[in-house]
Structure 1
Amino acid sequence: MDERMADLAYAAGWTLVRRSPERAGRAVFRRLADRDWRAHGGGTRGLERNLRRVVGPHATDAQLRALSKAGMRSYMRYYYELFRLPAMGRERLLSQTRQSGIEVLEGHLKAGRGVVAALPHMGNWDHAGAWIAARGTPLTTVAQRLNPESLYRRFTSYRESLGMEVLPLTGGDANTVGVLARRLRAGGLVCLLADRDINGTGLEVDLFGEKARMPSGPAALALNTGAALMPVSLWYDGPFWNIRVHDEIPVAPGSSRSERIQETTRALARVFEGAIAEHPEDWHMLQPVFSADHEADRVRRRDTEDGRWD
């Protein structure tokens, strides 16, 4: 799909889905998930490569395929709710959410201490942001720049309509890292997706027995500002959204700043590992996370550019 068609498709989704009967809409997105899963395209294969690390080598191919089918359905549920959330209403967001640990997070904020909430790509992170905003807590987050620019603006406007301040990961007029640090020092909440290295500057950590790459931003912000670093995991349970705020990860001691950030990021990876293992079908990770897959992608791109297709 080219950029213009992608923009039009998302625009249609935000217009049509919220106006359509919910039961029918969910059924359509479930069928789309099953169609993509049967086609076994690049996204499904990427999901299965990641899930293979979660379930281990002893899981059968049939078990992995069943898990990836559930994973694609969860992933498309996220997209359905992406379009539907603005029409769901505050009372529904609050009543259909089950949570644990939020009181500790909110306690830090009430005491004037900022919080870095670090999330893996699980469940519905847009819902989680809308939910805590509906509880009266403003938050700041970061969005990856999308092409075309009009699509990026649609996503930004959508998230702002749910009560979030959205900063660009790259580009824009603001110094994003500087703004995040100011929000934290002022006792604010910053929410960051933190299980995938997007810009190639992430740190290598152990994840499910392999090397993987994760961004250093959450640990660095906690170190620089004194904010509490709190992992948050999300998953579905029937009609309910589930949110767990895990215990704070203290910034690790060390002889250097880089060593402290590295060790803190490793500790964050261990919490993510446990959360993903409990709800692997709700880990929406179709892109490379593990270092071996990053290297394989790099080799494929190099060979394609060199004219080799073997």
Structure 2
Amino acid sequence: MWKYYIFRFAYLILGRLSLRALYGISRVTSDVSYRFRRDTRDAVASNMRRLLGPGANEDEVQRATREVFRNAGRYYADLIHVGRLDVERFYNERYEIEGEEYLHDAKDSGRGAVLVGTHFGNPEMAVQPLAAKGFSIMGLVETLEPKALSDFTLWLRERQGHVYRTIGYAGLKETIRRLKSGGLVAILIDRDVAGTGVPMQFCGAEASISVGAVDLAIRTGADLIPARSWRLPGYGFKVVVEPPVEIIRTGNLEADLRSNTERLLPIFEELLRSDPGQWAVLEAIWKDQPPQEGAVQ
């Protein structure tokens, strides 16, 4: 329960601070975490080596690794602050979006949409301003322990009118109902949280990739829409919503899940490599990790 009490205490004490102040605090705590959480640091560094490529030296790898920790810290600062957001002002002053028309079309047509993304920047924060345009997006998220912490973070995420459910049977049933009624659901595919992913090539090596987004689109007839988001300098966000992807259906569900998911990956590979430090994933994604500079082969 200590994680819950610490986060609850942080919310009560820090929740009224400005986002600028919260980011400043998160930077300090993130740098401390980077210094002392060696196992996590090593896992993140292995991801950075994959994204930066063989030409990157260890200083570059560690700079990107430290930035991942800082971005993860900003995520928690965002979460503490989300209830105080003026989403209309956020949309008008700190938000850039391309392709919003695809969201309106999916909603207005009644088809619904599965929005596919990654843990880049802060996708949960990137959807918040859309509440100002009448969107209520449902997100499927990882269950946290203890349950009190999971419930509290869900409450924070939903403060602006979006809906969040933990991955599981009940959440899946509600997701299907929402899609069939023309709603929008967001799923991130770069972490195999449920442990049901399929091994496929991602950034040049095999990783376990979630096929749940494609599965839901196939089963419900909803649009499958890739969406990229990233942080802008300061406190802004940029979102690019791609046109719906035409789903290939051969009648072989297993093959269709793999092939359609594989077609999405190049979009996100380019995004991750554009600024690796914004990829807020704190565990090793690839089993076959690239060697460190100077390692004996």
TM, length-normalised to structure 2: 0.90
- Distance in 1 (CA, whole Å) between partners of 2:133 and 2:287 is 39
Who is 2:253 aligned against? 257
Who is 2:84 aligned against? 87
Identity of aligned residues (%): 25
Pairwise CA RMSD? 1.8
Cα distance change of structure 1 residues 247 and 47 upon mapping to structure 2, 3 Å threshold: farther
Secondary structure of 1:195's counterpart equals: coil
Shift in Å, 1:116: 0.2
Unaligned stretches of 5+ in structure 2? 290-297
Secondary structure of 2:140's counterpart equals: strand
Who is 2:270 aligned against? 274
Give the length in aligned residue pairs.
287
Contact map agreement 1:252 1:261 (CA 8 A) in 2: no
Unaligned stretches of 5+ in structure 1? 294-310
What whole-Å deviation, never above 9, does each CA across 1:213-255 have from its counterpart, x for those lacking one? Answer: 1111100011111111111122111121111112322212435
Who is 1:163 aligned against? 161
Q: Which moved more, 1:222-231 or 1:160-169?
A: 160-169
Who is 1:72 aligned against? 69
Contact map agreement 2:225 2:244 (CA 8 A) in 1: yes
- Distance in 1 (CA, whole Å) between partners of 2:193 and 2:22 is 31
Find the partner of 2:195 among 200, 203, 215: 200
Shift in Å, 1:207: 0.9
Q: Which amino acid aligns with 1:205?
A: M
Q: Which amino acid aligns with 2:142?
A: Q
Who is 2:96 aligned against? 98
What whole-Å deviation, never above 9, does each CA across 1:258-306 have from its counterpart, x for those lacking one? Answer: 111110111122221111112221111111322437xxxxxxxxxxxxx
1:193-272 aligned at under 5 Å gives the runs 193-239=188-234, 240-272=236-268
Contact map agreement 1:37 1:69 (CA 8 A) in 2: yes
Cα distance change of structure 1 residues 198 and 71 upon mapping to structure 2, 3 Å threshold: same
Contact map agreement 2:80 2:156 (CA 8 A) in 1: no
Find the partner of 1:286 among 269, 278, 282: 282
Contact map agreement 1:7 1:151 (CA 8 A) in 2: yes
1:26-175 aligned at under 5 Å gives the runs 26-39=23-36, 41-94=38-91, 95-170=93-168, 174=170
Cα distance change of structure 1 residues 285 and 180 upon mapping to structure 2, 3 Å threshold: same
Find the partner of 2:3 among 2, 6, 9: 6
Contact map agreement 1:46 1:286 (CA 8 A) in 2: yes
Q: Which moved more, 1:5-14 or 1:22-31?
A: 22-31
Q: Which has the higher contact order (CA 8 A, sep 6+)?
A: 2
